[in-house]
Structure 1
């Protein structure tokens, strides 16, 4: 098979992103515009919740051939969806306190015009993601800036071993095509994969390893 037949055109990617948006139950595809240039997808439009904005980006990233996503979708809450910043802050604090994964982590929350900013320190990267996840669906939220720091304790050799084992276990990645390098608490991923979702899963696997503070994903998508 020649390279010309394996590469996907921007028009093909755009068509499949639109189809994926229609398939995604959390969004209304008619609210979202899709443009593609050199494999980079730009999403635009207006939605009535931050959840929809996030879901649209996830849907686009699932499509084979997508190299990156620029999410320009704006959240415009309906009159009934608006909440004051103090009410959003109180709901956010309760949500974090009730999440068993985050106990007893201390995470600070500030709210400005519906936009949440998270600060604090956790020992695992997945806890940082969990904090954002539990707040993403709160009523009135227009966006989340996750500034939580990850400060774990782990040896580089152990980090490398954990990441490599996670890649082997994953059904979505071909571990033999991915090289893992570790410098302190920084993981660098190199290699070639067939789809963006495989690249994304490799990065997710690296972030799950205890001790990882930075992931430099240099994996190339080559369908």
Structure 2
């Protein structure tokens, strides 16, 4: 088992490996395997990227994110410019049904509302806006309402997980209840838990992923 000091060095190395974070002022704290990130990053997307990078470090039990994103909205003109950038990103992305999403911007804080047919579209809308400089935070209140009436097949979700090289699908149990997918079992990193949830979110007709996967770093995988 890694000590907190050893884990801190590995987390620092993981953050240093990401070009967009090399100029960031991120302070790393580690206690009993729980990593706390404080400091300043330029964009909300970098904040998420830092969190994801740390989750992929073996030995990290949890990540507490307290990083700040400065706002660049200081006048009505800068507010208008930022809003136009946000709308342009949504308009130019084919995977997001732009007409179904409404955007509210206040002091750099974005709130997304509306209705989309796929769960992954809800996540994608937030991800694409995260790297716009000036976006301080994103509240994602988009609702997923599938237009499909076919029953989601458990086997389809299982096969989607099996196709991903980074996930040991045999260790994940899938249960489908209406429009909800429940994932349970054991994975060896927070990254794998997150990735499994994202893959399940792409299933047609799914409106909720109940991710109950447990992260166990010393888990002995089934052969």
TM range (shorter): 0.7 to 0.9
Counterpart for residue 165 of structure 1:
159
- Deviations 1:153-177, CA, capped at 9 Å, x for gaps: 354542x222101111010111111
- Deviations 1:82-113, CA, capped at 9 Å, x for gaps: 96323222221222112111245421000010
Counterpart for residue 190 of structure 1:
184
2:132 and 2:23 map into 1 onto residues whose CA distance is 22
Where 1:75 maps in the other structure, the secondary structure is: coil
1:123 and 1:216 map into 2 onto residues whose CA distance is 18
Matched, 1:106 2:100: yes
CA change 1:169–1:190 in 2 (3 A) is same
1:132 and 1:199 map into 2 onto residues whose CA distance is 19
1:156 and 1:132 map into 2 onto residues whose CA distance is 27
Matched, 1:57 2:27: no
Matched, 1:179 2:179: no
Counterpart for residue 147 of structure 1:
141
Gaps of 5+ in 1: 1-6
Counterpart for residue 221 of structure 2:
none
Aligned residues between the structures: 215
CA change 1:12–1:48 in 2 (3 A) is same
Where 2:48 maps in the other structure, the secondary structure is: helix
Matched, 1:27 2:25: no
Taking structure 1 as the reference length, the TM-score comes to 0.86
Match of 1:40 among 4, 12, 34: 34
How far apart are 1:36 and its partner, in Å?
A: 2.2
1:121 and 1:145 map into 2 onto residues whose CA distance is 15
Taking structure 2 as the reference length, the TM-score comes to 0.86
- Deviations 1:119-166, CA, capped at 9 Å, x for gaps: 0110111211221122112232111111111111354542x2221011
CA RMSD of aligned residues (A): 2.3
User: Per residue, is there more helix in 1 or in 2?
Assistant: 1
